[in-house]
Structure formats: structure tokens, C-alpha cells
Amino acid sequence: MPENKENSQLDLPDCDIRYYPNFIPSKIADTYFKKLRSETPWQQDDIKVFGKFYAQPRLTALYGNNGRPYSYSNITMKPHRFSKVLLEIKSEIEKYVSPEFTTCLLNLYRDGKDSNGWHADNEKELGKNPVIASVSLGAERMFHLKHNIDPSAKHKMILEHGSLLVMQGETQHTWKHQIPKTAKPIGERINLTFRIIK
């Protein structure tokens, strides 16, 4: 039976999104940030947008326990074996969110110019209604959500250091999300998105 931890469900239609603001205590989150920043083999891939290639505006890395690759935006990433710190975070999440995650995509936003454009995590290998558990470490960034059909349904929130955001149910079919660029001088942020690749 999953345990409980302080969280709130976003009051938005056609989705199931929960936010856990203090999921990882701040001091521990600081340690995780430092370890992941230095230990991760960060890569920068080129993505294809309307037939042209651009350097992805952030660094990434893929980890997993089943060797299955993950493909999106014309990139195919091969997983590294889960590290000790990622396994520790993964098992903490699995106390509250029931499924066992196989894979984690890491994003490093080096400053406000790094971003993640409007998208849904709806790749075939994630299955029908994917559960995505997203941990934020380091600088706070805005997270935007917009409904695919109803232009009045949208939401903006801050993803705080040590927080967990869980998107599940039909969310990836009905909503898109993004991390916009910001002109504010801000520090680095690491995001971990735990996923299940079938």
C-alpha cells in the first residue's frame, strides 16, 4: 500500500497531476544536486525541428534497468545503468507512486536560456497512460501546462528544489507542458523524469 506525503492535486480538467512540494528535504536535495551534476555523463544532442537540426537547449542523460532505448524528437538515447543516487531517489518515489519505474531521463538546464519546448510525453514505448514522476533539484523554474483543445485551460507553477510532480492518467493525451526560457539570472537546475519503458 503506497504511503502518504503532503501533496496537492492540480484542479485542472482531463488530467491527473499531483505536486509534492517538499518531497526531498532541502539538505538532501542539495547533496543529490551536487552528486548528479558531477557524476552524470551529460550529453547535448541535435534535435530536428521542421527539417532543420538544432542543438537541444539543455543537456540530458538516460538511465535505466532494462537496456531499452528511448526515442523522441529524432533522438535515440541508450540508457546507462542506474547509479546509487538515482536508485535511492527511485525507491523513495515508489513508496508513494505505485508502479516500478524502469528508466530516468535527466535534464540539466544550465541557465535561463536552456529550456524544454511545448510537448507531451506520449511516445509509444511509454504505453497508453504513462506515469511520469518528475523531481526538481537546484534553481526554481516555471512549468507551463496547456490543454490541447480548450485554450482557456492552462496553468503556470514554480517547480521548487526537492519537489516531485507526478503526471498520470490521460494527462499526456490531453495536455502539453514546457519549461520556458527566462531572462532572469538564475543558476543550474537538474530535472529527473522517471518513466516506465515497456
Ligand X SMILES: O=C(O)CCC(=O)C(=O)O
- The site partner of 195 among ligand X, Fe ion, none (C-beta below 5 to 8 Å per kind) is none
Q: Out of 16, 111, 121, 125, which residue is the one contacting Fe ion (CB under 5 A)?
A: 121
Helices of type H across the chain: 26-39, 84-94, 171-174
Beta carbon of residue 31, minimum distance to ligand X (angstroms, whole number): 20
Judged by CB under 6 A, which of 40, 56, 103, 134 binds ligand X?
A: 134
40 sits near ligand X (criterion: CB under 6 A) = no
Name the strands in the sheet holding 132-138, side by side, starting at the edge strand that comes first in the sequence.
Answer: 8-9, 16-20, 163-168, 132-138, 189-195, 103-109, 59-64, 80-81
| Residue 18 bridge partners (DSSP) | 9, 166
What is the closest distance, in whole angstroms, from the C-beta atom of residue 119 to Fe ion in the complex? 6
Q: Is 123 in the site for Fe ion (CB under 5 A)?
A: no
Grid cell 527566462 — which residue?
Answer: 182
Site for ligand X in 81-110 (CB under 6 A): 105, 107
**Footprint on this chain of Fe ion (rule: CB under 5 A):** 121
